[in-house]
Structure 1
Amino acid sequence: MIWLAAWFARAYPKSKRHGVAPASSPPLATPSFAVAKGERELRLDFFRGLALWLIYIDHVSPDVLTWVTIRNYGFSDAAEVFIFISGFTAALVYGRATFEAGFVIGTARVLRRVWQIYTAHLLLFLVLMAEIALVTTVSEKPAFYIQEMEVGEFFKQPGSEMIQALLLRFRPLNMDVLPLYVVLMAFLPLVLLLAKLHRDLPLALSAGLYVLMLRYDLHLSTYPDGFWSFNPYAWQLLFVFGAWCALGGGKRLSPILNSRSVLWLAVAYLCAAFFVTMTWYFPSLERAIPGWVARLIYPINKTDFDILRFAHFLALAAVALRFVPGDWPGLRSAWARPLILCGQYSLQIFALGVALSFAGYALLTELDAGVMLHVVVGAGGILILYGMARVFTWYKWAMSGRERAKTDTSKLITQEA
Structure 2
Amino acid sequence: MTSIADRIAGPPLAAEAGVIAGDAAQAVPVPAISLPVAGERELRLDLFRGLALWLIFIDHLPPNLLTWLTIRNYGFSDATEIFIFISGYTAAFVYGRAMREAGFVVATARILRRVWQIYVAHVFLFTIFLAEISYVATSFENPLYSEEMGIMDFLKEPDVTIVQALLLRFRPVNMDVLPLYIVLMLFLPVILWLMKRSADLTLALSVMLYAATWEFDLYLSAYPNGVWVFNPFAWQLLFVFGAWCAQGGAKRMSRILSSPITLWISFGYLLFAFLVTLTWYWPQLSHLMPRRLEQWMYPISKTDLDVLRFAHFLALAAVTVRFLPKDWRGLKSPWLRPLILCGQHSLEIFCLGVFLAFAGHFLLAELSGGAGLHFVISISGILIMSAAAWLFSWYKHSADKNAPRTKGGGGNADMAGGGA
TM-score (norm 1): 0.87
* 2:102 matched residue in structure 1: 101
- Give the residue type in structure 2 aligned to 1:285: L
Please give the secondary structure, in 2, of the residue aligned with 1:200. helix
* 1:44 matched residue in structure 2: 45
**1:263 CA drift (Å):** 1.0
Q: How does 1:83-232 map to 2 (within 5 A)?
A: 83-140=84-141, 142-232=142-232
Instruction: Tell me, in whole angstroms, the C-alpha distance in 2 between the residues paired with 1:162 and 1:155.
Output: 10
Instruction: Tell me, in whole angstroms, the C-alpha distance in 2 between the residues paired with 1:405 and 1:239.
Output: 32
Kept in 2, the 8 Å contact 1:234–1:304? The answer is yes
**1:406 CA drift (Å):** 12
Instruction: Tell me, in whole angstroms, the C-alpha distance in 1 between the residues paired with 2:164 and 2:183.
Output: 16
Q: How does 1:272-287 map to 2 (within 5 A)?
A: 272-287=272-287
Instruction: Tell me, in whole angstroms, the C-alpha distance in 1 between the residues paired with 2:36 and 2:73.
Output: 33
**1:405 CA drift (Å):** 9.8
- Give the residue type in structure 1 aligned to 2:117: Q
- What are the superposed Cα offsets for residues 325-376 of structure 1, whole Å, 9 maximum, x if unpaired? 1111101111111111111111111111111111111111221331111111
- Give the residue type in structure 2 aligned to 1:246: A
**1:34 CA drift (Å):** 2.0
Kept in 2, the 8 Å contact 1:139–1:366? The answer is no
Kept in 2, the 8 Å contact 1:33–1:92? The answer is no
- Give the residue type in structure 2 aligned to 1:338: P
* 2:369 matched residue in structure 1: 369
**1:401 CA drift (Å):** 2.0
Aligned residues: 375
| Alignment RMSD | 1.6
**More deviation, 304-313/349-358:** 349-358
* 1:76 matched residue in structure 2: 77
Closer/same/farther in 2, CA of residues 229 and 405 from structure 1, 3 Å limit: closer
- Specify every segment of 5 or more residues in structure 1 that has no aligned partner in the other structure, as ranges: 1-31, 408-417
**1:33 CA drift (Å):** 7.4
- What are the superposed Cα offsets for residues 198-225 of structure 1, whole Å, 9 maximum, x if unpaired? 1212211110000000001000001111
Please give the secondary structure, in 2, of the residue aligned with 1:246. helix
Instruction: Tell me, in whole angstroms, the C-alpha distance in 1 between the residues paired with 2:405 and 2:116.
Output: 30
**1:274 CA drift (Å):** 0.9
> Among the aligned pairs, what percent are the same residue?
60
Closer/same/farther in 2, CA of residues 50 and 405 from structure 1, 3 Å limit: closer
- Give the residue type in structure 2 aligned to 1:334: P
**1:63 CA drift (Å):** 5.3
Higher percent of residues as helix: 1
Please give the secondary structure, in 1, of the residue aligned with 2:199. coil
Kept in 2, the 8 Å contact 1:34–1:245? The answer is no
Kept in 2, the 8 Å contact 1:235–1:305? The answer is yes
- Specify every segment of 5 or more residues in structure 2 that has no aligned partner in the other structure, as ranges: 1-32, 408-420
* 2:21 matched residue in structure 1: none
Q: How does 1:240-319 map to 2 (within 5 A)?
A: 240-319=240-319
**1:66 CA drift (Å):** 1.8
**1:64 CA drift (Å):** 4.6
Closer/same/farther in 2, CA of residues 406 and 257 from structure 1, 3 Å limit: closer
**1:139 CA drift (Å):** 2.6
Higher relative contact order (CA 8 A, sep 6+): 2
- Give the residue type in structure 2 aligned to 1:358: F
Structure 1 moving runs of 4+ over 6 Å: none
* 1:356 matched residue in structure 2: 356
* 1:19 matched residue in structure 2: none
- Give the residue type in structure 2 aligned to 1:102: G
